[in-house]
Amino acid sequence: MDRRDLAVGLLIVAAVVVASFAVATAWSAPAGPLGADQTYPPGADADQINFSDLGTGDANLTHTPRNHWDSYAIRYTAPPERRLVEGEYYINSSTGEIIADRWHDATVYRNGTEYAFLQPAESVPEHQREQFDSDPQFVYDDTTDAYYRYDPRYGQIAPTNIGRHTTLLDSYTWEAVNTTTHHGVPVITYQATGTRPDSRAPPATGTLRLGVEDGLVYGYDLTRDAEGGPYRYAYSVEPAPFPEHEWVDTARELAANSTDSGS
């Protein structure tokens, strides 16, 4: 191994260590005991969480965290063969823009009624490429080797799974164990204590973090016991830079050119 390879190797190791430390730090903030006067958001108590009631207030994932951070991410990891929803979401607090991961390395952009879609061609199965090629809503760009779609009036109801990441938590019973902060947000830590009688979900162990003031689930780390081995699901709403999205301009321009050439 020459010096260059050694230096690269050391940088990779350092990056992994830093990332691991950051995750550990986020989930190991100083915790305090639960007092008798501890307050809970509507739908939660010391020994139970009614997830249906948590969603009846004004708080929601696309707006409430904007009060805490300039931009943030909804990060989600799951076993590849057991993913319940797509990947991560990024939200710009000042503009309301949303960027989300999709299957096959695709990316979706939303801003009010504006919608844009980017799909690298090399990541698409052949049968799906044929669908893109035959659909006039999508435009292939040879320069970037990608498919684009752009619609300025897509509407508010767009393909999104924001909010579905936490549906698996409803299968279990929970008990509050302490209070702490999640990237500066006051939260209550709950521990899974069992499976709900009306659920057929496999046993699980883990914790979740519930916002004290807004009742949002800001994070969880859950491991399910299932046939084939344990399956770990992790989720976190946390501050993060809003991704570069110049490709939206490309999608807009391609759509305009396609419309002009077709008229």
Residue-wise pLDDT tens digits, 101-117: 988 899 999 998 899 99
Higher-confidence residue of 19 and 89: namely 89
pLDDT tens by residue, 37-91: 899 999 999 999 999 888 677 888 889 999 999 999 999 988 877 766 667 899 9
Residue found under tokens 């799974």: 161
Lowest mean pLDDT among 196-200, 203-207, 223-227: 223-227
Check whether 261 has a pLDDT greater than 90. Answer: no
In-domain check, residue 13: no
What is the spatial distance between Cα 162 and Cα 124, in angstroms, rounded to a whole number? 24
- Using 50, 70 and 90 to split pLDDT, how confident is the model at 33? confident
Which pLDDT score, from 0 to 100, does residue 13 have?
Answer: 40
Q: Find the mean pLDDT for residues 135-140.
A: 95
Lowest mean pLDDT among 8-22, 29-43, 128-142, 184-198: 8-22
Give the total number of structural domains in the chain.
1
CA 117 to chain centre: 18
In-domain check, residue 12: no
Helix ranges restricted to H, the chain: 3-26, 51-54, 126-134, 247-262
Lowest mean pLDDT among 17-26, 60-69, 148-157: 17-26
Check whether 23 has a pLDDT greater than 60. Answer: no
Domain that holds residue 218: 44-253
- Using 50, 70 and 90 to split pLDDT, how confident is the model at 123? very high
Q: Is this model's pTM higher than 0.85 or not? A: no
In-domain check, residue 52: yes
What is the spatial distance between Cα 114 and Cα 255, in angstroms, rounded to a whole number? 13
Residue found under tokens 């509050």: 176
User: From residue 81, how far is each of 78, 123, 233, 242 by CA, in Å?
Assistant: 8, 18, 12, 28
In-domain check, residue 53: yes
- Using 50, 70 and 90 to split pLDDT, how confident is the model at 2? very low
Higher-confidence residue of 258 and 150: namely 150
- Using 50, 70 and 90 to split pLDDT, how confident is the model at 34? confident
In-domain check, residue 2: no
- Using 50, 70 and 90 to split pLDDT, how confident is the model at 199? very high
User: Strand, coil or helix: what is 148?
Assistant: strand
Q: Find the mean pLDDT for residues 195-207.
A: 95
Residue 258 tokens read as 């396609």
Q: Find the mean pLDDT for residues 223-231.
A: 87
- Using 50, 70 and 90 to split pLDDT, how confident is the model at 154? confident
Which pLDDT score, from 0 to 100, does residue 11 have?
Answer: 42
In-domain check, residue 196: yes
Check whether 7 has a pLDDT greater than 60. Answer: no
